[in-house]
Amino acid sequence: MGVLSSSSRLARRTQVISLFAVGALALSACGGSSLEQSGDGASGDEVKIGLLVPTSGVYAPLGADMSNGFKLYLDQHGGKLGGHKVKVVNADEGEGPQTGVPAAQKLVTQDKSTVVVGVVNSATALGLRDFFNESKVPLLVANAGANDITGSRKSEYVWRTSFANGKVSGALGSTVAKEAKGGVYLMAADYAAGHEMVAGFRKTFEAAGGKVIGEKYTPFGKTQDFQPYLSAIRSSGARAVFSFYAGAEAVSFVKQYKQFGLAGKTPLYGPGFLTEGGVLAAQGDAAVGVKTSLHYSAELDTPRNKEYVAAYKQAFGKAPTVYSVQAYDAAAVLDKALAKGTSSEELTKALAGVGAIDSPRGSWTFDADHDAEQKYYLREVTSGGGTIANAILNDLS
């Protein structure tokens, strides 16, 4: 399947979903549930925050990490953000916009959330952009990397504490160009994030002299048997592979890469979601040697991160992940912004002035497009003394 045909199909699908979102907005306004009131989600001094993460589907474990990160920050701050008591309303994003868009609409129009935090899936984020822009309620994206929501479709109301797909994958391009001993095969889940991750990587990889030998997109959320694709990689003569998978798909892909006999022979690279947190624990030794780019590792050797890792382990009995940090930082952002006002309008204005966030990943700020301006690291999966971890090799620029 060609990149162009599938991405234009995706753009059409996103457009349809966006129209649906705006249509629903108009209907709900006519029905007397005026969106002008949606920012008054407080009762007394309480601020209502919608938390939209997947609790079902392939990305459910990522959603659990995000809920934990958000909860940890709240628990460490007496349940208050910006001096105001907070009420969190949860909704299930599911596996994409078909479930995620109506769930977000409910959080705003029915539950009257002042702000919505979360969103794992790029396609959901793209489907939500117009709804938040029109309803004038801020959306703080704490994972989904869709390039356009902080690019060509940037909105005053959409901010991101995580990453843009093109940046996290682009950070890896020159390293793979230097290390690969020949052509590289590209593979990803067939939806918005997969296509953008591959495009971002390809750009910096080819600019550094790398050669792409083949490319394939696998049905998102449906592929359990990667064997036919692994055969294609082998017969292509690829000397390395770049891939984007996360959650349950990352577990299957990396385990089967090893079972098929490619691990150790054909080096595997990708954005760090490929080997993050519970995914890495499930992959076990099959993941050893996989190299990834990411803006976080639980192994980061800084006092701020060590303190965070210890607190997270104490609360949840396991190490934190990039997903938990992105949501923890969303709470930190709201802590600063809500101190300036608790309506959706006041909060949106205050987001521009939150300044540096003292995060476990290292200090970061919002850039002019509302994206996180941050450092990326090259990581390698290592195993020793019964523990498996994403060791940090060096900074990427």
Q: Which residues in this chain contact ligand PHB in the complex, by CB under 6 A? A: 59, 62, 120-122, 143-145, 165, 193, 246, 273
How far apart are the C-alpha atoms of 256 and 260, rounded to whole Å?
A: 6
- Three-state DSSP state, 265: coil
- Nearest in space to 335 (alpha carbons), one of 111, 125, 132, 140: 140
- Ramachandran angles phi, psi of 191, nearest 5°: -160, 180
Dihedral sign for Cα atoms in the order 68, 70, 73, 75: negative
8-state DSSP, 109: I
Pick the closest to residue 204 from 243, 175, 162 (CA basis).
Answer: 175
Nearest to 147 by CA among 161, 128, 165, 132: 165
Q: Report the C-alpha gap between 383 and 393 in whole angstroms.
A: 14
Measure the CA–CA gap between 214 and 292, rounded to whole angstroms.
20
Residue keyed to tokens 């396609």: 123
Q: List the Cα angle 20/25/31 in 5-degree steps.
A: 125
Strands (DSSP E) found in 138-236: 139-141, 158-160, 184-190, 212-219
Closest CA to 297 of 318, 276, 326, 278: 276
For residue 87, list its beta bridge partners.
Answer: 48
Q: What gap in Å lies between CA 48 and CA 108, rounded to an integer?
A: 10
- Do 312 and 324 touch, CB atoms closer than 8 A? yes
Compute the least distance from the CB of residue 124 to ligand PHB, in Å: 8
Three-class SS of residue 373? strand
Residue with token string 């608790």: 342
Report yes or no: 66 and 90 within 8 Å, Cβ to Cβ. Answer: no
Structure tokens, 226: 């990667």
- Provide the residue type at 282 as one letter: A
| Residue with smaller CB distance to ligand PHB, 66 or 333 | 66
> Could you give the angle at which helices 3-30 and 192-207 cross, rounded to 10 degrees?
140
Tell me 221's DSSP state: T
